[in-house]
Amino acid sequence: MSKHYLEYSEEVSLAQEKKIPIVALESTILSHGLPYPENWETGQALESILREKGVVPATIAIADGKIKVGLSSKEMKDFCQDKNILKVSRRDLPCVVALGKKGATTVSATMICAAMANIRVFVTGGIGGVHRGAEKTMDVSADLAELAKTPVAVICSGAKSILDLEKTLEYLETQGVNVLGYKTDDFPAFYSRESGRQVDYKVETPQEIAAIMQTKWNLGLEGGIVIANPIPLSHALDDKEMEGCIEKAIEEAQTHSVTGKAITPFLLSRLQDFTKGRSISANIALVKNNTALGAEVALAYHKAVNFV
């Protein structure tokens, strides 16, 4: 029944027919994560990276009562320019689809839609997690619950450094979510390559990642896998500087009573101001790096599933 709500782009439909690997991309980074025109340029660049590696991109969004699995160039530009796009998580998905509204999918919603479309690899910047002070606010991202039950591998640069990373990793461990470090033992903190916290297992190749994906799901184990890929060294920001900026941004958010869905966009916007745009450049660099790895993982998983 869920297939009724999916609308595939011509490129994605052809890829499914010809059994070409597909990688899912979220639309929230376009509508809420980056300003225009950086969002448009980045969206086009990410899709180009995948195509150049022989993988088909499926940027996922909601419009006209359908889950769009793959956007045309015109549709993507519209999402990048429209300032009234709703931010869609798991709880919003049925409402936004049923009411025919336009929505950009977060990590959790993109995972759901990718799984519906039988896409097993999804690339993003960083996953959500347990917010600082969650012991008082109970502010925990829906991304973590989704990772516990939806069978999609998420390529990311760890979790956003505005979060409580220790509690985020503890939550993932409790839920049985595998956290793999790509060529690293240290869980990356989005803008920074290291957080001082360990991943579950270090992996050296896309083939190792694909083998873990295949084995987990063949064993009948629920849930996704986090593949933490550190930001390129050339774009990594200083840990101490970023921590100072984050603490200042959190104080401002508390002063202005910014909570819920608004908190992450607010904090990221303030970080952009404090770093004079360097956080935006870092964000773009890391998601491009993640996309290149996502393509390699999708190719390796496709080969493992179809030829082993």
What are the DSSP calls for 200-253, one per residue? SEEE-SHHHHHHHHHHHHHTT--S-EEEE-PPPGGGPPPHHHHHHHHHHHHHHH
pLDDT tens-digit map of 97-126: 999 999 999 999 999 999 999 999 999 999
pLDDT of residue 58 exceeding 60, the answer is: yes
Is the predicted pLDDT of residue 53 greater than 60, yes or no?
Answer: yes
Give dist(CA 276, CA 241) in Å, integer.
Answer: 13
In angstroms, rounded to a whole number, what is the distance separating the alpha carbons of residues 123 and 291?
A: 6
- Per the prediction, the chain carries an average pLDDT of 93
Rounded-to-integer distance, Cα 158 and Cα 229, Å: 7
Structure confidence at residue 1 (pLDDT): 53
The answer on pLDDT for 248 being more than 70 is yes
Decide if 263 is inside a domain.
no
pLDDT in tens, 181-192: 999 999 999 989
167, 289 in Cβ contact below 8 A? no
Q: Which two tokens stand for residue 205?
A: 């190749």
Supply the pLDDT for residue 3: 79
pLDDT of residue 307: 64
Residue 244 or 91, more confident? 91
Q: Which of 161, 301, 168 is nearest to 238 (CA)?
A: 161
Whether 150 maps to a domain, the answer reads yes
Amino acid at 106: T
**Position 267 confidence tier, pLDDT thresholds 50, 70, 90:** confident
| In-domain check, residue 143 | yes
The H-or-E segment that residue 270 falls in is helix 263-274
Neighbours of 250 (CB within 10 A): 19
The pLDDT assigned to 81 comes to 95
Could you tell me the residue range of the domain that residue 59 belongs to?
2-237+285-307
Contact status, residue 246 vs residue 300, Cβ threshold 8 Å: no
Query: Does residue 258 belong to any structural domain of this protein?
Result: no
pLDDT at 170: 96
Longest dimension (CA), the chain: 57
Is 78 within the bounds of a domain?
A: yes
Indicate the SS3 state at residue 138. coil
Select from 204, 209, 229 the least CA-distant residue to 291: 229
**Domain-located, residue 40:** yes
pLDDT for the residue numbered 260: 72
**What backbone torsions phi and psi does residue 69 show, to the nearest 5 degrees?**
-105, 90
Asked whether the predicted pLDDT for residue 244 surpasses 90, the reply is no
Distance CA 78, CA 45 (A): 16
Give me the pLDDT at residue 247, please. Answer: 83
| Number of domains composing the chain | 1
Q: In this structure, is residue 124 part of a structural domain?
A: yes
Catalytic residues: 26, 160
In a domain, 272, yes or no: no
Q: What separation in angstroms does the CA of 38 have from each of 77, 280, 285?
A: 11, 9, 12
Q: For 10-35, how does the pLDDT look when each residue is reduced to its tens digit (9 = 90+)? A: 999 999 999 999 999 999 999 988 88
d(CA 138, CA 285): 32
More confident residue, 160 or 195: 195
CATH of the domain at 26: 3.40.1790.10
Three-class secondary structure of residue 4 per DSSP: helix
pLDDT-derived band at 139 (thresholds 50, 70, 90) equals confident
**Rounded distance, CA 219 to CA 214, Å?**
9
Spatial contact of 6 and 84, defined as CB atoms under 8 Å apart = no
Residue 136 is predicted with a pLDDT of 75
- Weakest-pLDDT range from 145-149, 237-241, 279-283, 294-298: 237-241
Task: Read off the pLDDT band of 137 (50, 70, 90).
Answer: confident
Q: Are strands 56-63 and 66-69 parallel, antiparallel or unpaired?
A: antiparallel
